[in-house]
Amino acid sequence: MINESVLLESRTLRTSVLERTDVLDRVKALSLLPDGLHVTTAMVAAYYEVAETAIRQLIQRHRDELTGNGMAVLRGSELQDFESDNLSPSKRRSLTIYSRRAVLNVGMLLRDSEVARQVRTYLLDAEHEVRTHPVDNLVHRVTWGNLHERIDNRITDVLGKTVVPMLNVLIETSGEQRRELISLREDVQQIQMKLVEHDLQISRLQRGQEVRALTGVIGTIDAMNWKEFELHVAELLRRDGCTDVEVYGGHGGDRGVDITAKTADGRTVAVQCKNFAPFRHVLSGEMQKFLGSSKVLHQADVALYVATCAFTRESLAIAAQGGVTAVHRGLLEAWSAGVRLQVLR
């Protein structure tokens, strides 16, 4: 068994376990901003029970690594947009935000934090358990794989299309219970993430493939330009059995969509691709525009809005009402790594 301290010295080892963000919640509950994706420097410091200065000093030494794993500094209009959705307005000139992956990265670098030490120990224990898992147990899981997959997908679909939108509406209209509802929504989103991870594991086993970590998947996507991103999404559609996949590449004939295709069972597909910075949000006006293009102009049976960021509450509500599947950053990562979208099955 490797000692947890080696994570402090080996960036390669840190990279190999960065997908295990579930460890954060196993060690201690991690509070997230209302977007369900990010935390601030103060929230990172509170989680690891250290002063904010310790986090800032860590950033100075490891800025490139943390930035590559989801840390970003917001300024100007980007900061204003983010604050309007997630924080009370302030006079701050900049704001550093962290994804769950970046928070985990911090835990593998912090020396003087008991919580960080527990995170490192838990990470290596979990990794050791995965690598030494008996073969017979894996075979048993494959035997029941189809049943687990159907149950997971049904629950995920209900949570994403019914429960989360309902909580969003309640949060918007509630007063005293707002904080409790936000906490409940975070719990539901955590369940969704775990179900997606479980579906990913089952899918890998069913295809007879070796378990492949998500490490680097979202980083590769972030490095793409808009054209490369559209081609990437087109390949995902083909991988999942779609035919007649056509990428318009932004020219005038697209009529408001970036990709069209047909599912294996003949349903028409219209796709919007947005290669946004991870701290941005897809706004309600953008979703309304795509809803009109996909459902009215193209009369698509399946409408996918694929983005490298999150969606605002309002845009998610519009998507749910109009029958648009919102493929947010987390779901995009899982889809790119091998999970098939439920709507394409």
**200 and 237 part of one domain:** no
Q: Are residues 243 and 283 in the same domain?
A: yes
For the segment 147-171, the average pLDDT, to the nearest whole number, is: 56
Question: Looking at the structure, do residues 174 and 150 belong to the same domain, yes or no?
Answer: yes
Q: What is the mean pLDDT of residues 277-302?
A: 88
Task: Determine the Cα–Cα distance for residues 197 and 25; give it in Å rounded to an integer.
Answer: 15
Backbone angles phi, psi at 261, to 5 degrees: -165, 180
User: Could you tell me if 267 and 298 lie in one domain?
Assistant: yes
In a domain, 1, yes or no: no
Q: Are residues 269 and 329 in the same domain?
A: yes
321: CATH = 3.40.1350.10
Range of 15-19, 157-161, 248-252, 273-277 with top mean pLDDT: 273-277
**What is the residue range of 159's domain?**
133-212
Residue 138 has pLDDT above 80, yes or no: no
Unique residue bearing structure tokens 């795509």: 290
CA distances to 22, 257, 259, 288, 292 from 296, in Å = 41, 12, 16, 11, 5
Residue 197 is assigned to a structural domain of this protein: yes
Residue 137 tokens read as: 């147990």
| Same domain flag for 114 and 192 | no
Domain end: 75, 99, 131, which one? 131
Select from 172, 191, 212 the last residue of a domain.
Answer: 212
DSSP tag of 161 = I
Q: Burial code of 289-311, b = ≥16 C-beta within 10 A, e = fewer?
A: ebbebbbeebebbbbbbbbbbbb
Is residue 170 located within the same domain as residue 275? no
Residue ending a domain, among 212, 227, 249, is 212
> pLDDT tens digits, residue range 103-119?
999 999 998 899 998 88
Q: What is the pLDDT of residues 265-282, one digit of tens each?
A: 999 999 999 998 887 888
> Is residue 330 situated within a structural domain?
yes
User: What percent of the chain has a predicted confidence (pLDDT) above 90?
Assistant: 32
Q: Is residue 259 part of a domain?
A: yes
Structure tokens at 73: 């500094």
Please report the pLDDT score of residue 53 as a whole number: 95
Instruction: List the structure tokens of 281.
Output: 């949000």
Q: According to the model, what pLDDT value does residue 312 have? A: 87
Q: Which residues contact 320 (CB under 8 A, 6 or more apart)?
A: 161, 165
Please name the helix (run of DSSP H) or strand (run of DSSP E) that holds residue 271, with its range, or none.
Answer: strand 268-274
Question: Looking at the structure, do residues 50 and 77 belong to the same domain, yes or no?
Answer: yes
Return the biggest CA–CA distance within the chain: 59
Are the C-beta atoms of 4 and 108 separated by less than 8 Å? Answer: no
Task: Count structural domains, the chain.
Answer: 3
Is 26 a member of any domain?
yes
Whether 156 and 229 map to the same domain: the answer is no
On whether both 117 and 233 belong to a single domain, the answer is no
**Model-level pTM greater than 0.75?**
no
**Mean of the per-residue pLDDT values of the chain:** 79
